[in-house]
């Protein structure tokens, strides 16, 4: 049985009260590891360690600690070394992630590759974060400088732990913050290993700390801690709201990424040969547990039958199997997530939505695993829960439209606004849609579920606010200072 503890001050550390949590393998439902069950004391220790790394021992004198004294080029060099170590431990990290989350190995490998790429990207960006000089009155020079927030908190979900720590902690460290990470209780193992690799890469003690535990214990304590200067949260809407309220009590800015109900809009002139494999992958990837999953297909009525038939053929051949057997879909993360998906499917069945296709389940799957086959639904009404709420499973719904305006209204007609896809050869229509869709990313004749280290990512409406990924994330992990010099 594997035993993992918190990682604080570059050391493996038990919870203050010694409690632990069991870790289940989603492919079997059996326990294979334990992690520390952190609480407020552990979070406090981690926040103090981060503060020392940044500011040193004396309160009120900022940036005197070893991490605060590391200049931008130095931060970039450490992140570059970390990117190299992650690449060197690619297989080990992928195996840990696959066992812990049930991801098929090919997805876990893609996540490990993305993690290395995030650190590489932010290594290169660290010393390119410039301020500006501003025109002002004669006799003055005014400039802006970007400074780190200080100690940043990162609440990470279980669906893409490596990718999300890469985008969030990669950017925060590049900008000079010291980090306290609370991974999801279902997905800690790879992140604890990444923290060890960061220490090996030369990151000073306290610059990156990981406290494991439950959301309403360690997570809540992190959001409430007055020593946290910024929180980056990825997860569900209700939890995001709780985190924001707790952070507001100490005036702490928050970045929220709260998932979506992303639409792929297929017009009558779409190239279906190109679109179909992309549409299938965008919902099947990671068993549908992707914030930017393309979970709705809106299609021009003239192509509905053809699209439905071709998607049904593709869905019928999708196979669900154990993570190690590396099929199209692995298990869902846990029993609660499987119940959630089953609940939506039961409602669809009660409401008489046509099930066009079901994927295949491998024979002899372990009885305790959290398996779900891919499901394709047709004629989903615009107000049905399957069209409005995040299922977070391999369930794709098709709805038809009769005009461009109806397509836009349908695509925008949910509380979410994370990502959208548009499939048409008409250039003017591509641009009209790209401007009309209220989502943080729009893909035209392609779809990047979760992809694009370089591409700013984040939501509109209930999908959240703030941007992660790309250079834009560095602005989010810094605060702007204006310095006005009067020199005559
Ligand atoms: O999410 P939670 P859950 C959506 C998806 C899924 C649903 C529920 O629809 O079915 O959320 O998943 C921590 N204070 N997404 O219950 O609760 C928790 O420990 C501070 C979308 O797992 O939001 C974990 O680290 N933190 C999504 C993180 O919050 C708390 C990814 C997310 O958990 C906390 C995951 C609290 N009070 C789920 N309670 C996306 N946007 O990609 C929990 N946490």
Whether 460 is covered by a domain: the verdict is no
Say how many Å lie between the CA of residue 241 and the centre of ligand 1: 11
Catalytic residues: 257, 291
Whether 305 is covered by a domain: the verdict is yes
Q: Can you give the pLDDT at residue 19?
A: 98
Whether 179 is covered by a domain: the verdict is yes
Question: Tell me, what CATH number does 338's domain have?
Answer: 3.40.309.10
Burial (CB count within 10 angstroms: exposed 0-12, middle 13-18, buried 19+), residue 71: exposed
Residues 155 and 186 in one domain: yes
Give the residue-averaged pLDDT of 29-45.
98
Residues 451 and 478 in one domain: no
C-beta separation of 176 from 75 below 8 A: yes
Give the residue-averaged pLDDT of 123-134.
97
Whether 461 is covered by a domain: the verdict is no
Give the residue-averaged pLDDT of 448-462.
89
Whether 121 is covered by a domain: the verdict is yes
| Residue carrying structure tokens 């309160």 | 59
Residues 82 and 117 in one domain: yes
Range of the domain at 160: 2-258+466-486
Ligand 1: nearest atom to the Cα of 463? 41
Say how many Å lie between the CA of residue 285 and the centre of ligand 1: 19
Say how many Å lie between the CA of residue 340 and the centre of ligand 1: 13
Q: Can you give the pLDDT at residue 449?
A: 65
Burial (CB count within 10 angstroms: exposed 0-12, middle 13-18, buried 19+), residue 82: buried
| Percent of all residues in the chain with a pLDDT value above 90, rounded to a whole number | 99
- The reply to whether ligand 1 has any atom less than 6 angstroms from the CB of 185 is yes
Residues 383 and 244 in one domain: no
- The reply to whether ligand 1 has any atom less than 6 angstroms from the CB of 469 is no
Residues 249 and 272 in one domain: no
Residues 219 and 337 in one domain: no
- The reply to whether ligand 1 has any atom less than 6 angstroms from the CB of 155 is yes
- The reply to whether ligand 1 has any atom less than 6 angstroms from the CB of 390 is yes
Say how many Å lie between the CA of residue 231 and the centre of ligand 1: 14
Residues 273 and 220 in one domain: no
Q: pLDDT of 380-411, one tens digit each?
A: 999 999 999 999 999 999 999 999 999 999 99
Number of compact structural domains in the chain: 2
Say how many Å lie between the CA of residue 217 and the centre of ligand 1: 13
Phi and psi for 462 in degrees, rounded to 5? -80, 5
Q: pLDDT of 292-320, one tens digit each?
A: 999 999 999 999 999 999 999 999 999 99
Residues 45 and 87 in one domain: yes
DSSP-derived 3-state class of residue 413: coil
| Percent of all residues in the chain with a pLDDT value above 70, rounded to a whole number | 99
Q: Can you give the pLDDT at residue 450?
A: 61
Whether 267 is covered by a domain: the verdict is yes
Question: Tell me, what CATH number does 64's domain have?
Answer: 3.40.605.10
Residues 363 and 476 in one domain: no
Maximum C-alpha span of the chain: 82
Residue of 236, 247, 466 with the most ligand 1 atoms within 8 Å of its CB, for mutation: 236
Ligand 1: nearest atom to the Cα of 337? 10
Nearest CA to ligand 1 atom 37: 216
Residues 163 and 144 in one domain: yes
Summary mean pLDDT of the chain: 97
Q: What span, in angstroms and rounded, lies between the C-alpha atoms of 185 and 333?
A: 11
Whether 111 is covered by a domain: the verdict is yes
Whether 314 is covered by a domain: the verdict is yes
Through-space distance between the first and last CA atoms of the chain, rounded to whole angstroms: 70
Residues 219 and 274 in one domain: no
Q: Can you give the pLDDT at residue 448?
A: 87
Residues 197 and 314 in one domain: no
Q: Can you give the pLDDT at residue 452?
A: 87
Residue of 111, 169, 225, 235 with the most ligand 1 atoms within 8 Å of its CB, for mutation: 235
For 281-313, the DSSP string reads HHHHGGGG--TT-EEEEEEEHHHHHHHHHHHHH
Q: Can you give the pLDDT at residue 418?
A: 98
Give the residue-averaged pLDDT of 370-374.
98
C-beta separation of 200 from 210 below 8 A: no
């Amino acid at each position: 049985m594997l035993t993992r503890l918190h990682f604080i001050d570059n050391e493996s550390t038990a919870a203050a009260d010694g409690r632990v949590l069991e870790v289940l393998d989603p492919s079997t439902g059996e326990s294979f590891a334990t992690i520390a069950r952190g609480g407020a004391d552990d979070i406090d220790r981690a926040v103090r360690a981060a503060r020392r790394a940044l500011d040193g021992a004396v309160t009120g004198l900022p940036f005197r600690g070893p991490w605060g004294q590391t200049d931008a080029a130095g931060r970039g060099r450490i992140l570059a070394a970390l990117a190299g170590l992650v690449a060197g431990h690619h297989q080990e990290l992928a195996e840990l992630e696959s066992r812990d989350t049930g991801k098929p190995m090919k997805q876990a490998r893609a996540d490990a590759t993305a993690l290395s790429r995030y650190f590489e990207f932010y290594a290169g960006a660290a010393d390119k974060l410039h301020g500006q000089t501003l025109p002002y009155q004669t006799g003055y020079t005014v400039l802006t400088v970007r400074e780190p927030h200080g100690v940043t908190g990162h609440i990470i979900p279980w669906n893409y732990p490596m990718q999300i720590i890469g985008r969030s902690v990669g950017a925060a460290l590049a900008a000079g913050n010291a980090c306290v990470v609370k991974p999801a209780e279902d997905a800690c193992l790879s992140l604890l290993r990444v923290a060890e690799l960061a220490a090996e890469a030369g990151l000073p003690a306290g610059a990156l700390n990981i406290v494991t535990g439950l959301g309403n214990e360690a997570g809540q304590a992190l959001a409430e801690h007055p020593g946290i200067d910024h929180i980056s949260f990825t997860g569900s809407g209700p939890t995001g709201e709780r985190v924001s309220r707790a952070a507001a009590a100490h005036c702490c800015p928050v970045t929220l990424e709260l998932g979506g109900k992303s639409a792929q809009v297929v017009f009558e002139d779409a190239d279906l040969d190109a679109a179909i494999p992309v549409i299938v992958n965008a919902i099947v990837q990671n068993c549908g547990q992707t914030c930017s999953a393309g979970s709705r297909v809106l299609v021009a009525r003239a192509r509905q039958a053809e699209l439905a038939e071709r998607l049904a053929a593709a869905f019928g051949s999708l196979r669900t199997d154990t993570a190690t057997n590396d099929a199209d879909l692995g298990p869902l993360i846990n029993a609660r997530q499987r119940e959630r998906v089953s609940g939506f499917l039961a409602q669809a069945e009660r409401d008489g939505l046509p099930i066009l296709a079901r994927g295949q389940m491998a024979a002899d799957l372990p009885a305790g695993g959290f398996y779900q086959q891919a499901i394709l639904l047709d004629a989903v009404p615009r107000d049905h829960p399957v069209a409005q709420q995040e299922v977070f499973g391999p369930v794709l719904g098709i709805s038809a439209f009769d005009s461009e305006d109806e397509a836009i209204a349908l695509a925008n007609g949910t509380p979410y606004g994370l990502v959208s896809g548009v499939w048409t050869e008409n250039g003017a229509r591509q641009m009209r849609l790209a401007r009309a869709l209220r989502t943080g990313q729009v893909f035209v004749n392609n779809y990047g579920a979760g992809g694009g280290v370089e591409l700013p990512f984040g939501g509109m409406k209930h999908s959240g606010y703030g941007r992660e990924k790309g250079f834009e994330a560095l602005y989010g992990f810094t605060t702007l200072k204006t310095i006005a010099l009067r020199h005559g």
